[in-house]
Structure 1
Amino acid sequence: MTDFSARRTLMVDTQVRPSDVTKFPIIDAMLSVKREDFVPAALREAAYMGENLALGGGRVVLEPRTLAKMLDALDIGNDELVLDIGAAIGYSAAVIAHMAQAVVALEEDEDMAHEAMDALMSAGMDNVITQAGPLHAGAAEHGPYDVIVIEGGVSHVPVAILDQLKDGGRMACVFMDGALGEVRIGYKLDGRVSWRRAFNAGAPVLAGFEKHDAFTL
């Protein structure tokens, strides 16, 4: 029988801590949340690998290092509302729920959204709302949000998403340029979001977050 508890500790000790992630709430959450319960059954044995887990259709569960460093840069407080875009089966939402006041987990694949709801309920995460809907549209009815996290690559962030971030809020995205990517943290002030580079990472670009080339005559 697989000792997932030992794998979880090993993940934190070999992937998270060496990446300069030291904030206790993040370490505690990643030691507590059973990642194997938030991936498809066929991927349970691979749940703690140090790479993105492919879900099919260009979707992934971000590698633990990337998620941990995103959360470290965002420094989520226990009085904050977070929108988790592309939540898949709910792992990221479960981790974020340990540090936020409440999380809205947005997933456009209805089957994964239902699985996320079940997994989060089984894990006792009663401060997470799971919502099915297009990722690029966000979840305006529950916003605005103190923090927005996008669980996948982007070439651009739709205005609809930027509009759902509170003034003074921040967001994290993996910006992709071909095969290369970097996580940037966006800070909203006076209605405008300014981006700062955080670290290198990669993920497939989500549908609806592609860069639209301008038409030329």
Structure 2
Amino acid sequence: MTDFAARRTMMVDTQVRPSDVTKFPIIDAMLKVAREDFVPAAQREAAYLGENLNLGDGRVLLEPRTLAKMLDGLAIANDELVLDIGSALGYSSAVIAHMAEAVVAVEEDEHMSKEAQETLSAADIDNVIVHHGLLADGAPQHGPYDVVIIEGGVESVPDAIIDQLKVGGRIACLFMSGALGEVRLGYKNDSGVSWRMAFNAGAPVLKGFAREKAFQL
């Protein structure tokens, strides 16, 4: 029988801590949340690999290092409301739920959103709302948000998402340019979002987050 708890500890010790992620709330959450429960059943054995896990249809579960470093940069406080876009089967939302006051998880795949709700409930995580809807629309009815995190690649961020972030709030996105990508952290002020580059990573661009192609004659 696979010892997933041991794999979870190894994930933190070999993928998260060496990436300069040392904040206790992040380490604690990643040690507590059973990642293997939030992946397709056929991929439980691969849950703790240090790479993006393919969920099909151009979707992935971000590798542990990428998620941990995004959370490190966002520095979520326990009184904050977080919008988690592209939450898939709910792993990222489960981790964030241990740090934030509440999480709104947006997932447009009906099967994944239903399964996420069931798995979160089974794990007794009761401060996550799973919202079934288009990723690019976010969930304005539950906002505005202190923090936004997007679980996949983007080329541009829709205005609808930026509008749901409070002034003074933070956002983390993995901007892709071809095969190369970089996570940027954004801080919203009165005139928009100011971005800074944080680290390199990669993931497929999510539906609704591709840059509009310029019209050419």
TM range (shorter): over 0.9
> Partner residue of 2:28?
28
Sequence identity percentage: 74
1:10-29 to structure 2, matched below 5 A, reads 10-29=10-29
Give the total of aligned pairs.
217
Q: TM-score, normalised by structure 1?
A: 0.99
Q: CA deviation at 1:27?
A: 0.1
Residues 58, 27 of structure 1: alpha-carbon distance in 2 compared, 3 angstrom cutoff: same
How do 1:103-114 residues align onto structure 2 when only pairs under 5 Å count? Answer: 103-114=103-114
Deviation at 1:128, TM superposition (A): 0.4
Match of 2:4 in 1: 4
RMSD over aligned CA atoms reads 0.7
Counterpart of 1:163 in structure 2 is 163
For the residues of structure 1 that align with 2:46 and 2:215, how far apart are their CA atoms? 43
C-alpha separation between the residues in 2 aligned to 1:95 and 1:2? 22
Quote the Cα distance in structure 2 between the aligned partners of 1:14 and 1:216.
48
Mapped to 1, the partners of 2:191 and 2:58 lie a distance apart of 32
Task: Please give the residue correspondences for 1:116-131 in structure 2 after superposition, counting only pairs within 5 Å.
Answer: 116-131=116-131
> Distance in 2 between the 1:25 and 1:166 partners?
23
Q: Cα offset for 1:67?
A: 0.1
Residue 65 (structure 2) aligns with: 65
1:29-48 superposed matches below 5 A = 29-48=29-48
Q: Which amino acid aligns with 1:179?
A: A
Following superposition, the deviation at residue 194 of structure 1 comes to 1.1
Q: Which residue of 2 aligns with 1:77?
A: 77
Write the distance in 2 (CA, Å) between the matches of 1:14 and 1:144: 36
Q: Distance in 1 between matches of 2:164 and 2:213?
A: 24
Matched, 1:145 2:173: no
2:7 aligns to what SS in structure 1?
helix
- AA matched with 2:190: D
In 2, Cα distance between equivalents of 1:72 and 1:197 = 14
Match of 2:91? Answer: 91
Q: Give the gaps of 5 or more residues in structure 1.
A: none
- 8 Å Cα contact 1:167/1:191 also seen in 2: no
Q: Aligned with 2:6: secondary structure?
A: helix
Q: Which residue of 2 aligns with 1:50?
A: 50
SS at match of 1:203: coil
- Residue 214 of structure 1: CA displacement? 2.7
Q: Give the superposition deviation at 1:213.
A: 2.5
Structure 2 residue aligned with 1:133? 133
| Partner-residue secondary structure (3-state), 1:54 | strand
Q: Distance in 1 between matches of 2:136 and 2:99?
A: 25
Q: Pairwise mapping of residues 178-189 of structure 1 onto structure 2 (< 5 A)?
A: 178-189=178-189
Q: Secondary structure at the match of 2:83?
A: strand
* Runs of 4+ residues over 6 Å off in structure 1: none
CA distance in 2, matches of 1:66, 1:118: 25
Report SS of the residue matched to 1:45: helix
Aligned mates of 1:14, 1:189 — CA distance in 2: 37
3-state SS of 1:173 partner: strand
| Residue number in structure 2 paired with 1:174 | 174
Unaligned runs of 5+ in 2: none
1:191 deviates by: 4.1
